[in-house]
Chain A
Amino acid sequence: MTDLHSARFVGANRVGRRAALRTAAAAGLAQLASPFILRGARGDTPLRIGMIDPLTGAYAAPARNEVMGAQLAVSRLNAAGGALGRPIELLVEDSANDVGTGVQKARKLVERDHVDFLIGDVNSAVAQAIAQVAMENKILHVVSGGHTDTITGKDCKWNVYRVCNTTRMESNAVADILFKKYGKKWHFITPDYTFGHTLQAALEVNLQRLGGIETGAELIPLGTTDFSAYLIKARAANPDVIILLVQGQDMVNCLKQIVQFGINKEVPIAGTQQELESLEGLPSEARIGTWMFEWYWNQPGVPHLAEFIADIRKVNKGRVPTARHWFGFTSVMTMALVAAQEKTTDAVKLARALSDFELPPEVKLQPNKVYYRAGDHQLMLSAFIGQARAEGKDDPDDLFAVDQVVAGDAVAPPVADTGCTLHWPA
């Protein structure tokens, strides 16, 4: 595994054009060598981005991919001269999937390292806690990978933008397709915490609108390893489709057991958010079902995509980028682009400028218009709907066949329904 903290070397280690970076790299090295030095004048200091993600613990795989994506963005930017004429430095901290640690690291980045921006976290709870610290200190914060609706809903903040989806966007993206394809009797397998509850509720709204029936819902405690009790019940309810909302390792275990029990031969399996990380963790026979990806690498004809894939392969043992790589990449790019456009690091000005800010083709790497909605600061990114594949077609990692790409603003609920009211500082 590449040491993620090599980013402290200003991400310049893999890039050729180093002249402009020499000072920054020296500063970075000096800091690494003797961290307890008094920091001098900040005249030529780099633009600092603090990134907090759970590099250890249950979300380590997606978190490390986000960091890898962010590092790629930093090295590309620095190769082109940085932003605002300053090199960019990425400071990566491990939240260890723990809110207390996450808050501590946020304060460290703000108080000690004087970062200009914050990125993070995969864990929604940590992301919201960081957002609080960021707001107290008036720092622009991009949530890279936490999906809880409230981040761009009732707890939205003027300084917080989010790259990944909300649960309601996910539900709206898949509901009609699943209904048409499989029928009207749905049975839910839902993780028993806020994320799962809101996801299920959002799907229920759609199901009702479409005139369908819910045959039941199994609430699964997080970290469940044995799903037989729930699958016995789900099968007995005789639904048209089983909707799997559990995530990560829980999804891996649930899918494996579904396949072992042969349930998928009787009832189709589908769900909302699926990730390449999870599919890769499954034996091939368990890679089944209809899902939504937030971003997928195999999109023929999308400009600049091949370059991105090639760059990630170089640092990812030849593997393709996942949605998490793109989240990290886009988070950094967003900040650099808006800072360059506004020629300032002032958080309030930048946050204002990000309202309805559209991502250029070399960043968005997907069809449709992709922009941060002004009303709730949510990125309107496309939803990729399709089928999981047992074996890769063009590449061992091509485990998903995209049927349809839906624009983000077509599936996002209107701002008025998100519960978000932004309070800007005077």
Chain B
Amino acid sequence: MRESGRTHPAVLAAIWVVLLLAPTWLGLVGGYTALGARVLVLGLAAMSLNFLLGFTGVLSFGHAAWFGLGAYGTGLTLKFLAASTPLSLLAGTLLGGALGAALGALIAHRRGIYFAMVTIAFGQVFYYIAYRWNALTGGDDGLRGFSRQPLAIGPWRIDIVANGVAFYYFVLVCFAAAVAIMALLLRSPFGHTLVAIRENERRARFLGIPVEFHIWLAFALSCVFISFAGGLYALLNNFADPNNLHYSLSGDLVIMAVLGGMRSFWGPLLGAALFVVLQDYVSSLTTNWMSFVGLLFVLVVLFFPRGLLGVLRGKSPA
């Protein structure tokens, strides 16, 4: 989907074909299925963040907190409450979404750099809770002792536990559902209002749009989406880790969105794919991979501020 238009049907079809066939072609180019699942999960997280960043124009630099809360919500549900994959995902999404909505109300009227700082700081609150509350979260050791469960759809049972390819498709279905809802939201009048706020907040205010309310709602929805992604991440690893909430992951998610192009719907997915593959590849070659990742940040900021899709399209500057 373009800004307000749509992604060309051919491009859209190509994206889905590539994603659908990933388990077959990944191995041929030196990848592996679990890498594909990771790209999907982090791609969804970056797209969720971009719902806020790219389409509402609000910079949250603490979104890993909601991602991690989704992961812990999912893990805790599987461990203590119910041995059901869908139920645990729902619980994780609700946990992150609800806390995100509550905190969003506190900060929705802040802007710019101040908003960024406050989101980082509040994000770290949840990081420290996960890190310190040993009895519930396992503390530094992380939350272990849960495992995703086979899916039961009517009479069929689908084994997504041991079968990596089946799990990939499960993630893909979840991903598709989430981005479909996201796309519908952005195409709705609500989505157009968000873009109007991003383009000119003052004008939007003059038009009688309740700006704070819209920003809060966008923030809350973005938290819901990213918590869902976090839940999938917990299922991918059968593990939840305090690092899932740390601000350094927030930074990685922002760079994914910017790298791919934060003005386009699919940009963050492309950014996530590039980032994840680059990190995975370089970190196998050298222990100094952090310098490469850091350099990527610098290069993107200096030379590709509009992201790859932005460059390809040559649209108006961000």
- Asked if A and B touch directly (CB within 8 angstroms), the answer is yes
Identify the A interface with B (CB < 8 A): 1, 3-5, 32, 35-38, 55-56, 64, 91, 93-94, 96-100, 103-104, 107-108, 111-112, 124-125, 128-129, 132, 136, 148, 192-195, 197, 221-222
Q: Cα distance A108–B27 when bound, in Å?
A: 11
Do B34 and A4 have beta carbons less than 8 Å apart?
no
B162 at the interface (CB under 8 A from A): yes
In addition to A112-B31, A125-B142, A221-B132, 6 A-B residue pairs with Cβ atoms within 8 Å of each other are: A36-B30, A107-B34, A108-B35, A111-B33, A193-B140, A194-B138
B188 at the interface (CB under 8 A from A): no
- Min C-beta distance of B254 to chain A, whole Å: 18
Please provide the 4 A-B residue pairs with the shortest distance between their CB atoms, ordered closest to farther: A107-B34, A111-B32, A36-B30, A99-B241
B199 at the interface (CB under 8 A from A): no
Of the 9-residue stretches B50-58, B100-108, B232-240, B295-303, which lies at the interface with chain A?
A: B232-240
Among residues 215 to 229 in chain B, which have CB atoms less than 8 Å away from a CB atom of chain A? none
Q: Cα distance A136–B237 when bound, in Å?
A: 12
Q: Cα distance A128–B239 when bound, in Å?
A: 10
Per DSSP, are chain B's interface residues mostly helix, strand or loop, or mixed? helix
Q: Mark B20-44, 1 if CB is under 8 A from A, else 0.
A: 0000000111111111001000000
Of the 9-residue stretches B259-267, B281-289, B308-316, which lies at the interface with chain A?
A: B281-289
Given A5-B287, A100-B241, A104-B35, A125 contacting B141 (CB threshold 8 A)? yes
- Min C-beta distance of A245 to chain B, whole Å: 14
Identify the closest chain A residue to B34 (Cβ).
Answer: A107
B79 at the interface (CB under 8 A from A): no
Do A98 and B30 have beta carbons less than 8 Å apart?
no
Q: Cα distance A360–B139 when bound, in Å?
A: 39
Q: Pick 28 A–B contacts, CB within 8 A, sort by A.
A: A5-B286, A35-B30, A36-B30, A37-B30, A56-B287, A56-B289, A98-B243, A99-B142, A99-B237, A99-B239, A100-B236, A100-B237, A100-B241, A104-B237, A107-B34, A108-B35, A108-B280, A108-B284, A111-B32, A111-B33, A111-B34, A124-B141, A125-B144, A128-B144, A129-B238, A193-B141, A194-B139, A222-B131
B244 at the interface (CB under 8 A from A): yes
CB contacts (< 8 Å) of B144 on chain A: these are 125, 128-129
B4 at the interface (CB under 8 A from A): no
B134 at the interface (CB under 8 A from A): yes
Do A193 and B30 have beta carbons less than 8 Å apart?
no
Identify the closest chain B residue to A100 (Cβ).
Answer: B237
B164 at the interface (CB under 8 A from A): yes
Q: Cα distance A129–B75 when bound, in Å?
A: 14
